[in-house]
């Protein structure tokens, strides 16, 4: 049955969830404090690059199942389920910055009245304990406003999101599982029923357990990546091939082949910040998260591997031109948060190189992420519209993000260059016919 849903925050998670819920037939209101974003969404324009999102959004708009606003009063009054999907970025000390979440709770609480019962659902990734804290926080806000029996006016539920950028619509529509954490199981069941049409495996838990499932899942996936990268670095010294090692490991169903691709490290808006936040949480309760700290450390070193390898071939890159292919933190997204291309470009510039960077969709976000470098280095950092233009006059190419369009290329254009393949995209035996080629963990 169609339910009334508000989604607070229309970023990668909020917009995809909102559009998908509307596509499933629910009545959705998407709310954001960013007025420009809301205006664009009302016109059916998608402000992010996410395959498949525009078509489901436009279908939902046409059928009148989704609406956008900046007005909390309108969103809260016209919904029964209020999903919080605002950002939870890292603070300096690695802990999660909950100021956006707190501000969203406040705005929601200002609009809950005497006869209401609202289900407030955390989709944002929030530290274990946040849900129970939120219950007290919201209750106190209602009490202050003189709302009658404040604890009966709402319930807080955790429903962490596991979608991957670039495959977000598909992941939402075909989830491996839906995790719902609630102290009130009946209300938890109501939230799970929003996904009924998808018939997903549902795991109903208490609040802190659901919150921890999200962090533990991301930390585990990040651990797999740092693990395989560490093994890759050892392979390289011993003449073993990491791609075959990973295949051999992945055939073991206890290991699985996923997240075993060696490369130049993980980035994105989730893995780095979530592992750091979990480290912070663990230390707060007097635990020693040694493994998690190593995951971050290995990753930080791995991000600069392409530069390290380049310097083996061209020890002094001052005044040399280096092309960088792929800027987004992974293919099929325009997201630049914590992208390995950022430290790579910084290091190249610091060493005096001229950098020509290319990405199929993330250039505008890359310019924002590298604003300081653009100011400091001026024309030493150039963004090109075409991958081959980036190669003009370049002595070397670093491949940082494995976009599909880099797979089949005119290899003649790489003749005489040093090519560092940070994602093991190309075949070494083929590449060595054209250029000086190195990849990660392959002989
Ligand atoms: N991006 C992912 O792949 C992914 C996957 C799973 C979980 N998550 C989690 O989901 C949450 C959201 O991530 P995201 O990548 O969608 O973030 P985002 O930065 O893309 O979007 C956040 C949106 O919230 C809006 N916002 C901020 N404060 C607000 C407020 N008080 N009221 C209304 N809107 C407000 C911002 O304007 C922005 O549009 C984070 O906790 C993240 O860890 C992200």
Same fold, 4-205 and 215-297: no
d(CA 321, CA 125): 41
What spacing in Å lies between the alpha carbon of 15 and ligand 1's midpoint?
Answer: 9
Q: Decide whether any atom of ligand 1 lies within 6 Å of the 18 Cβ.
A: no
Q: Decide whether any atom of ligand 1 lies within 6 Å of the 441 Cβ.
A: no
Give yes or no for residue 149 having a pLDDT over 90: yes
Give yes or no for residue 88 having a pLDDT over 90: yes
- Contacts of residue 183, defined as CB under 8 A and 6 or more positions apart, other chains included, come to 132, 135, 155, 206, 207
Q: Decide whether any atom of ligand 1 lies within 6 Å of the 83 Cβ.
A: no
What's this model's pTM, rounded to 2 decimal places?
A: 0.96
**pLDDT mean across residues, the chain:** 97
What spacing in Å lies between the alpha carbon of 67 and ligand 1's midpoint?
Answer: 18
What spacing in Å lies between the alpha carbon of 100 and ligand 1's midpoint?
Answer: 9
Q: Decide whether any atom of ligand 1 lies within 6 Å of the 14 Cβ.
A: yes
* CB-based contact 158:149 (threshold 8 Å): no
What ligand 1 atom has the least distance to the C-alpha of 274?
A: 43
What spacing in Å lies between the alpha carbon of 107 and ligand 1's midpoint?
Answer: 16
Burial call 79-96: b when 16+ CB within 10 Å, e when fewer? bebbbbbbbbebeeebbb
For 320-342, write each residue's pLDDT tens digit. Answer: 999 999 999 999 999 999 999 99
Among 1.10.1040.10, 3.40.50.1400, 1.10.260.40, 1.10.3720.10, what is the CATH number of 215-297?
A: 1.10.1040.10
Q: Decide whether any atom of ligand 1 lies within 6 Å of the 105 Cβ.
A: no
What ligand 1 atom has the least distance to the C-alpha of 123?
A: 10
Mutate to test the pocket of ligand 1, among 6, 7, 11 (most ligand atoms within 8 A of CB): 11
What spacing in Å lies between the alpha carbon of 141 and ligand 1's midpoint?
Answer: 23
Enumerate the active-site residues.
270
pLDDT value at position 23?
95
For the record, the structure tokens of 241 come out as: 């091939």
Q: Decide whether any atom of ligand 1 lies within 6 Å of the 34 Cβ.
A: yes
For 226-268, write each residue's pLDDT tens digit. Answer: 999 999 999 999 999 999 999 999 999 999 999 999 999 999 9
The CB-side HSE value for 27 (13 A sphere, CA atoms) comes to: 11
- What is the residue with the minimal CA distance to atom 31 of ligand 1? 104
Give how far Cα 378 sits from Cα of 328, 370, 395, Å: 21, 11, 20
Among 3.30.930.10, 3.10.20.30, 3.40.50.720, 3.90.1150.10, what is the CATH number of 4-205?
A: 3.40.50.720
φ, ψ for residue 94, nearest 5 deg: 90, -15
Output the CA angle 75-162-224, nearest 5 degrees: 155
Q: Decide whether any atom of ligand 1 lies within 6 Å of the 125 Cβ.
A: yes
Fold (CATH) for 304-438: Rossmann fold (3.40.50)
- What is the residue with the minimal CA distance to atom 41 of ligand 1? 124
For the record, the structure tokens of 156 come out as: 């807080």
What ligand 1 atom has the least distance to the C-alpha of 126?
A: 41
**Partners of residue 322 on adjacent β-strands:** 355, 396
pLDDT value at position 169?
97
- What is the residue with the minimal CA distance to atom 7 of ligand 1? 161
Q: Decide whether any atom of ligand 1 lies within 6 Å of the 269 Cβ.
A: yes
Q: Decide whether any atom of ligand 1 lies within 6 Å of the 98 Cβ.
A: no
Q: Within its chain, how far is the Cα of 189 from the centroid?
A: 28
Give yes or no for residue 1 having a pLDDT over 90: no
For the chain, what percent of residues have pLDDT higher than 70? 100
Q: Decide whether any atom of ligand 1 lies within 6 Å of the 13 Cβ.
A: yes
What spacing in Å lies between the alpha carbon of 9 and ligand 1's midpoint?
Answer: 6
What spacing in Å lies between the alpha carbon of 165 and ligand 1's midpoint?
Answer: 12
Mutate to test the pocket of ligand 1, among 69, 90, 269 (most ligand atoms within 8 A of CB): 269
For the record, the structure tokens of 142 come out as: 């209602």
> Which class for 367: exposed (0-12), middle (13-18), buried (19 or more C-beta within 10 A)?
middle
d(CA 294, CA 288): 12
Q: Decide whether any atom of ligand 1 lies within 6 Å of the 88 Cβ.
A: yes
Give yes or no for residue 154 having a pLDDT over 90: yes
For the chain, the structural domain boundaries read 4-205, 215-297, 304-438
For the record, the structure tokens of 412 come out as: 């003649």
d(CA 148, CA 153): 8
């Amino acid at each position: 049955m169609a339910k009334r849903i508000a989604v607070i925050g229309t970023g990668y998670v909020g917009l995809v969830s909102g559009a998908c819920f509307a596509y499933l037939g629910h009545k959705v209101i998407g709310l954001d404090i960013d007025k420009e974003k809301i205006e664009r969404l009302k016109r059916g324009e998608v402000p992010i690059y996410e395959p498949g999102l525009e078509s489901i959004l436009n279908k939902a708009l046409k059928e009148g199942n989704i609406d956008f606003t900046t007005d909390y009063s309108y969103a809260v009054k016209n919904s029964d389920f209020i999903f919080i999907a605002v950002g939870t970025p890292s603070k300096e000390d690695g802990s999660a910055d909950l100021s956006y979440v707190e501000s969203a709770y406040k705005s929601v609480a200002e609009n809950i009245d005497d006869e209401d019962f609202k289900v407030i659902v955390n989709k944002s990734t929030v530290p274990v304990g946040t849900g129970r804290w939120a219950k007290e926080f919201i209750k106190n806000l209602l009490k202050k406003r003189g709302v009658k029996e404040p604890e009966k006016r709402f319930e807080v539920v955790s429903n962490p999101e596991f979608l991957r950028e670039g495959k977000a619509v598909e992941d939402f529509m075909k989830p491996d599982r839906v995790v719902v954490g609630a102290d009130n199981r009946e209300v938890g069941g109501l939230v799970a029923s929003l996904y009924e049409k998808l018939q997903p495996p549902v795991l109903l838990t208490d609040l802190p357990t659901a919150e921890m499932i999200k962090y533990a899942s991301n930390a585990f996936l990040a651990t797999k990546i740092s693990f395989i990268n560490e093994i890759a670095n050892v392979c390289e010294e011993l003449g073993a091939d990491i791609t075959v090692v990973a295949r051999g490991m992945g055939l073991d169903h206890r290991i699985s082949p996923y997240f075993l691709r060696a490369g130049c490290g993980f980035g994105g808006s989730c893995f780095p910040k979530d592992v750091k936040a979990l480290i912070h949480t663990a230390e707060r309760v007097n635990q020693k998260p040694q493994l998690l700290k190593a995951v971050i450390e290995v990753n930080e070193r791995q991000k600069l591997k392409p530069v390290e390898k380049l310097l083996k071939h061209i020890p002094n890159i001052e005044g040399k031109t280096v092309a960088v292919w792929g800027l987004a933190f992974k293919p099929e997204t325009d997201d630049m948060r914590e992208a390995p291309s950022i430290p790579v470009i910084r290091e190249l510039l610091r060493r005096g190189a001229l950098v020509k960077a290319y990405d199929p969709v993330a250039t505008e976000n890359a310019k924002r992420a590298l604003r300081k470098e653009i100011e400091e280095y001026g024309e030493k950092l150039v963004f090109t519209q075409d991958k081959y233009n980036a190669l003009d006059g370049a002595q070397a190419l670093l491949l940082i993000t494995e976009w599909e369009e880099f797979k089949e290329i005119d290899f003649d254009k790489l003749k005489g260059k040093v090519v560092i393949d940070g994602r093991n995209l190309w075949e070494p035996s083929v590449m060595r016919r054209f250029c000086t080629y190195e990849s990660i963990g392959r002989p």
